[in-house]
Amino acid sequence: MNLSGSRIAVIGGAGLIGSHLVDQLTREDVEIVVIDNLVRGRKENLAEALKSHKVKLVMADIRNKEELAKVMAGSDYVVHLAALWLLQCQEDPRACLEVNVVGTQNVIEAARDLKVKRVVFSSSASVYGEPSYLPMDEKHPFNNRTAYGASKIAGEQMLRAFYEMYGLNYVGLRYFNVYGPRQDHRGAYVSVFMRFLDRIEKGEPPVLFGDGSQTMDFIYVEDVARSNLLALKAEATDANYNIASGTETSLNELAKLILQLTGSSLQPIYKKDANPGVQKRKAGVERAKTDLGFEAAIPIEEGLNQLIAWRMKTRAPGT
311: left (phi over 0), alpha (psi -120 to 50) or beta: alpha
CA atoms within 13 Å, Cβ hemisphere of 185:
21
What's the pTM value of the predicted model, to 2 decimals? 0.96
Q: How far apart are CA 280 and CA 122, in angstroms?
A: 21
Q: Summarize pLDDT for 224-267 with one digit per residue, the tens.
A: 999 999 999 999 999 999 999 999 999 999 999 999 999 999 99
CB 121 within 8 A of CB 170: yes
Considering only residues 188 and 20, tell me which one the structure prediction assigns the higher pLDDT: 20
Fold category of 6-178+218-246+282-298 in CATH: Rossmann fold (3.40.50)
Q: Is the pLDDT confidence value at 188 over 70?
A: no
Q: Summarize pLDDT for 65-97 with one digit per residue, the tens.
A: 999 999 999 999 999 999 999 999 999 999 999
Domain locations in the chain as residue ranges? 6-178+218-246+282-298
Please state, rounded to an integer, the average pLDDT across all residues of the chain. 95
Mean pLDDT of 271-283: 86
According to DSSP H, which parts of 100-139 are helical? 104-113
Closest CA to 79 of 227, 270, 252, 257: 227
∠ CA 51-56-60, rounded to 5°? 135
Residue 117: phi and psi, rounded to 5, are: -75, -30
Task: Pick the catalytic residue from 77, 128, 133, 148.
Answer: 148
For this structure, is 148 an active site residue? yes
- Most distant CA pair in the chain, distance: 59
Residue 33: phi and psi, rounded to 5, are: -115, 120
Give the pLDDT band (50/70/90) at residue 186: low
Amino acid at 311: R
Amino acid at 157: Q
The residue ranges of DSSP E strands in the chain, in sequence order, are 6-11, 30-36, 55-59, 77-80, 118-124, 170-175, 177-179, 207-209, 215-216, 218-220, 239-243, 249-250, 269-271
Q: How far apart are CA 67 and CA 57, in angstroms?
A: 14
Q: How far apart are CA 188 and CA 195, in angstroms?
A: 11
Q: Strand order in 239-243's β-sheet?
A: 55-59, 30-36, 6-11, 77-80, 118-124, 170-175, 239-243
Length of the chain: 319
